[in-house]
Amino acid sequence: MQWDGLTEKTCCVCERLLPIDAFSNTARGPASCCKECNRQKQAERRGNFGPDEWARHHDIAVRNRAERMVRDAKRFLCSVMLEAAKSRAKRFQVPFALTLDDLLPLAVDNRPALEIRLIYEGRTTPDGSQPRVVAGSPSVDRIIPQLAYVRGNVVTISRRANRIKGPLEPQQLRKLADWRRAAQPTDQIER
């Protein structure tokens, strides 16, 4: 199997160079850790639970999460965004000093970026345990990407705006917008 020409990949856990078949497929490509390391991580998370006990525990956790999401969607999504930002901070080795109380005031319905209304409720994955990510899903963004995740350096914007912006600086975004505005179709376009 290949993924965009990739036949081997290094596992982020055991740091071995393995064939691409040793990794699970995800929507974004091969997983970051190999199947073997993933099994070990799952076993550690399960602790002393047997397979049946783990299934029962998992079902209860999913149900509780779904109930929390319905009860207070905005608070729940802020906690999900907080955990995601914390994970990114750890992955990119960026300092992290945010709390749920820092994010809640930022959780407003409208943001000027792309004029997309932020959606905090009503959409979940089929099992009801996770918020479904759509263009209007709220996302935490660092104003100055080189600085930490701290109060005053973060805003909530739509996921779509955050994905488009990426790590670009304001002047790079302006250049990109100017280029896009100036780009005109040529006569050579096949229709």
Taking the domains of the chain in order of start, what are their residue ranges? 8-42, 51-181
pLDDT, the chain, mean: 77
How many residues does this entry show for the chain? 191
> At residue 175, what are phi and psi to the nearest 5 degrees?
-60, -45
Give the residue from 78, 80, 70 showing the smallest Cα distance to 108: 78
pLDDT at 21 over 70: yes
Residue scoring higher pLDDT (29 or 93): 93
pLDDT at 168 over 60: yes
* Mean per-residue pLDDT, 92-111: 83
User: Position of tokens 């509780």?
Assistant: 64
pLDDT tens-place string over residues 170-185: 888 888 888 878 876 6
CB 156 within 8 A of CB 143: no
pLDDT at 190 over 80: no
Q: What is the CATH number of domain 51-181?
A: 3.30.40
* Mean per-residue pLDDT, 6-26: 87
With H, G, I as helix, E, B as strand and everything else as coil, classify residue 127: coil
Question: Taking the alpha carbons of 103, 90, 9, 165 in that order, is the dihedral positive or negative?
Answer: positive
Tally of CB atoms within 10 A around 64? 11
124 pLDDT tier (thresholds 50, 70, 90): low
